[in-house]
Amino acid sequence: MPKLPALKPKQALKKFEKLGFIIDRQSGSHVVLFHPKTKRRAVIPLHLTDLKKGTLSAILRESGINKEEFIQI
């Protein structure tokens, strides 16, 4: 299984948008994304530092996206 790359939150947000997620709302420094087909949500923290691998893994798990699929985009 490939390792997750270190990404800035804005880079991760763009990848989620390419996967079909749309921005539902923003609450403080967190963006809530929604996928119209799967009805799943993902919450991405918009901080200046890179997302930690555990945080990114949890976001992918709750949104139902494979790591391989996310890395390829």
Render pLDDT for 32-54 as a digit per residue (tens, 0 to 9): 999 999 999 999 999 999 999 99
Nearest to 60 by CA among 4, 1, 8, 6: 4
Predicted pLDDT at 1: 65
Domains of the chain in sequence order: 9-72 (3.30.920.30)
Nearest to 45 by CA among 2, 9, 72: 9
Q: What is the DSSP letter of 37?
A: T
pTM of the full predicted structure? 0.90
Residues 6+ apart with CB under 8 A from 42: 16, 21, 32, 33, 35, 59, 62, 63
